[in-house]
Amino acid sequence: MKFLCVPCDSPMKLQTVGPPERGSLSIVYSCPECGYEIAMLTNAYETQAVQSLGVRIGPEKSVADASGEANASAAGCPFAAMIPGTQDVQPSRDHSAEPAPVRWTAAAEARLANVPAFVRPMAKAGIERFARENGCLEVDEKILDAAREFFGM
Protein backbone atom coordinates (compact mmCIF):
# COMPACT_ATOMS: atom_id res chain seq x y z
CA MET A 1 0.00 0.00 0.00
CA LYS A 2 1.28 3.45 -0.90
CA PHE A 3 -0.04 6.92 -0.13
CA LEU A 4 0.14 9.87 -2.46
CA CYS A 5 -0.28 13.55 -1.57
CA VAL A 6 -2.55 14.56 -4.42
CA PRO A 7 -1.90 18.34 -4.37
CA CYS A 8 1.88 17.79 -4.43
CA ASP A 9 1.73 14.58 -6.51
CA SER A 10 4.35 13.30 -4.08
CA PRO A 11 4.61 9.88 -2.36
CA MET A 12 4.04 10.18 1.38
CA LYS A 13 6.58 8.83 3.87
CA LEU A 14 5.83 6.69 6.89
CA GLN A 15 6.72 8.70 9.99
CA THR A 16 5.59 6.83 13.10
CA VAL A 17 3.75 3.74 14.20
CA GLY A 18 1.63 4.28 17.28
CA PRO A 19 1.44 1.77 20.11
CA PRO A 20 -0.73 -1.21 19.19
CA GLU A 21 -4.08 -0.91 20.89
CA ARG A 22 -6.66 -3.69 20.81
CA GLY A 23 -5.24 -4.94 17.55
CA SER A 24 -5.16 -1.55 15.87
CA LEU A 25 -2.07 0.22 14.62
CA SER A 26 -1.89 3.99 14.10
CA ILE A 27 0.49 4.59 11.25
CA VAL A 28 1.27 8.22 10.41
CA TYR A 29 2.42 9.28 6.95
CA SER A 30 3.48 12.75 5.90
CA CYS A 31 4.10 14.50 2.63
CA PRO A 32 7.79 15.46 2.28
CA GLU A 33 6.76 18.45 0.12
CA CYS A 34 4.03 20.20 2.11
CA GLY A 35 4.27 18.39 5.45
CA TYR A 36 0.61 17.36 5.43
CA GLU A 37 0.00 14.35 7.67
CA ILE A 38 -2.51 11.55 7.56
CA ALA A 39 -2.94 8.54 9.85
CA MET A 40 -3.89 5.04 8.74
CA LEU A 41 -5.79 3.29 11.51
CA THR A 42 -5.99 -0.44 10.96
CA ASN A 43 -8.59 -2.79 12.31
CA ALA A 44 -7.52 -6.06 13.91
CA TYR A 45 -8.05 -8.08 10.74
CA GLU A 46 -5.94 -5.74 8.64
CA THR A 47 -3.20 -5.74 11.25
CA GLN A 48 -3.33 -9.51 11.50
CA ALA A 49 -3.19 -9.96 7.73
CA VAL A 50 0.05 -7.97 7.57
CA GLN A 51 1.50 -9.62 10.66
CA SER A 52 0.84 -13.03 9.15
CA LEU A 53 3.32 -12.22 6.40
CA GLY A 54 6.01 -12.11 9.08
CA VAL A 55 7.01 -8.54 8.20
CA ARG A 56 7.64 -5.53 10.40
CA ILE A 57 5.93 -2.19 10.14
CA GLY A 58 7.97 0.95 10.65
CA PRO A 59 9.56 3.95 9.03
CA GLU A 60 12.83 3.87 7.18
CA LYS A 61 15.80 3.83 9.55
CA SER A 62 16.63 7.52 9.24
CA VAL A 63 13.04 8.60 9.80
CA ALA A 64 12.73 6.29 12.81
CA ASP A 65 15.89 7.64 14.38
CA ALA A 66 14.70 11.19 13.85
CA SER A 67 11.26 10.71 15.30
CA GLY A 68 12.14 8.38 18.15
CA GLU A 69 8.50 7.44 18.34
CA ALA A 70 8.51 4.15 16.50
CA ASN A 71 9.62 2.09 19.48
CA ALA A 72 6.23 1.96 21.02
CA SER A 73 5.76 0.17 24.30
CA ALA A 74 3.58 -2.82 23.64
CA ALA A 75 3.98 -5.32 26.46
CA GLY A 76 1.60 -8.19 25.98
CA CYS A 77 0.40 -7.01 22.60
CA PRO A 78 0.28 -9.77 19.98
CA PHE A 79 1.60 -7.33 17.40
CA ALA A 80 4.67 -6.27 19.37
CA ALA A 81 7.01 -8.15 17.02
CA MET A 82 5.76 -6.08 14.09
CA ILE A 83 7.11 -2.86 15.47
CA PRO A 84 10.84 -2.21 15.76
CA GLY A 85 12.11 -2.24 19.31
CA THR A 86 9.15 -3.99 20.89
CA GLN A 87 9.89 -7.61 20.05
CA ASP A 88 10.78 -10.02 22.83
CA VAL A 89 8.66 -7.99 25.27
CA GLN A 90 7.03 -10.59 27.46
CA PRO A 91 4.03 -10.05 29.70
CA SER A 92 4.86 -10.09 33.39
CA ARG A 93 4.29 -13.43 35.10
CA ASP A 94 4.43 -14.88 38.54
CA HIS A 95 7.95 -16.28 38.83
CA SER A 96 7.60 -17.62 42.37
CA ALA A 97 7.31 -21.29 41.34
CA GLU A 98 9.95 -21.16 38.60
CA PRO A 99 13.51 -22.51 38.84
CA ALA A 100 16.46 -20.23 39.36
CA PRO A 101 16.86 -17.80 36.46
CA VAL A 102 19.55 -18.50 33.92
CA ARG A 103 21.65 -15.62 32.60
CA TRP A 104 22.67 -15.34 28.96
CA THR A 105 25.95 -13.84 27.85
CA ALA A 106 25.75 -11.25 25.09
CA ALA A 107 27.36 -13.65 22.60
CA ALA A 108 24.86 -16.41 23.43
CA GLU A 109 21.97 -13.92 23.18
CA ALA A 110 23.24 -12.89 19.76
CA ARG A 111 23.15 -16.53 18.65
CA LEU A 112 19.66 -16.97 20.06
CA ALA A 113 18.48 -14.22 17.73
CA ASN A 114 19.16 -16.65 14.86
CA VAL A 115 16.23 -18.80 16.01
CA PRO A 116 12.93 -17.85 14.32
CA ALA A 117 10.98 -15.62 16.70
CA PHE A 118 8.04 -18.01 16.94
CA VAL A 119 10.06 -20.95 18.27
CA ARG A 120 12.63 -18.81 20.15
CA PRO A 121 10.91 -19.02 23.56
CA MET A 122 10.74 -22.83 23.33
CA ALA A 123 14.35 -23.06 22.17
CA LYS A 124 15.46 -20.70 24.94
CA ALA A 125 13.62 -22.65 27.63
CA GLY A 126 15.10 -25.92 26.38
CA ILE A 127 18.65 -24.59 26.40
CA GLU A 128 18.19 -23.15 29.90
CA ARG A 129 16.95 -26.55 31.05
CA PHE A 130 20.02 -28.15 29.48
CA ALA A 131 22.25 -25.61 31.26
CA ARG A 132 20.64 -26.28 34.65
CA GLU A 133 20.93 -30.03 34.16
CA ASN A 134 24.63 -29.47 33.58
CA GLY A 135 25.00 -27.37 36.72
CA CYS A 136 25.20 -23.99 34.98
CA LEU A 137 23.16 -20.86 35.60
CA GLU A 138 24.70 -18.99 32.70
CA VAL A 139 24.30 -19.81 29.03
CA ASP A 140 27.39 -18.93 27.08
CA GLU A 141 28.73 -20.15 23.76
CA LYS A 142 30.38 -23.13 25.46
CA ILE A 143 27.00 -24.33 26.73
CA LEU A 144 25.49 -23.89 23.26
CA ASP A 145 28.33 -25.87 21.72
CA ALA A 146 27.94 -28.54 24.39
CA ALA A 147 24.22 -28.80 23.59
CA ARG A 148 25.01 -29.18 19.89
CA GLU A 149 27.46 -31.95 20.68
CA PHE A 150 25.10 -33.66 23.13
CA PHE A 151 22.34 -33.84 20.53
CA GLY A 152 24.70 -34.98 17.79
CA MET A 153 24.34 -31.83 15.69
Partner 1 sequence: MKRYHDIVGDGGSGILEQVAELRGRITDGLAGVRHIVAVGSGKGGVGKSTLTLHLAGALRARGVRIAILDADFNGPSQARMAGVHGALFVPGRHKVSLPRTMNGIAVFSMGSVIPESEALDFESAAQGESHTWRATREFALLGEILASFEWGALDLLMFDLPPGAERTVQYADFLEPLKPRVSFLLVTIPSEVSRGVVARSVAALSKGPNRLLGYVENMSGYYCRDCNAIKPLFESEPAGLSIPCLGTIPFDPELARHCDRGLPLAELPNTRVGRALDQIAQQLLDSLESTTEPSQ
Distance of alpha carbon 29 from alpha carbon 149, whole angstroms: 50
Phi, psi dihedral angles at 145 (to 5 degrees) = -65, -35
The reply on whether position 115 binds partner 1 by CB under 8 A is yes
Compute CA distances 80 → 56, 61, 112, 130, 140, whole Å. 9, 18, 18, 29, 27
Looking at beta carbons only, is 90 or 96 nearer to partner 1?
90
In the bound complex, what is the minimum distance in angstroms from residue 95's beta carbon to partner 1?
21
Q: Which of 94, 116, 133, 135 binds partner 1 (CB under 8 A)?
A: 116
Q: Tell me the pairing of strands 26-30 and 13-17.
A: antiparallel
Q: Which positions from 66 through 95 interact with partner 1, judged by CB under 8 A?
A: 78-79
Enumerate residues 6+ apart whose C-beta is below 8 A from 107: 140, 141
For the CA atoms of the chain, what is the radius of gyration? 20
Q: Does 117 bind partner 1 (CB under 8 A)?
A: yes
What mask, x for binding partner 1 by CB under 8 A, covers residues 41 to 70? ---xx-xxxxxxxxxxxxxx--x-------
Q: Which residues bind partner 1 (CB under 8 A)?
A: 1-4, 6, 9, 11-15, 22-23, 29, 44-45, 47-60, 63, 78-79, 111-119, 122-123, 126-127, 130, 144, 147-148, 151-153
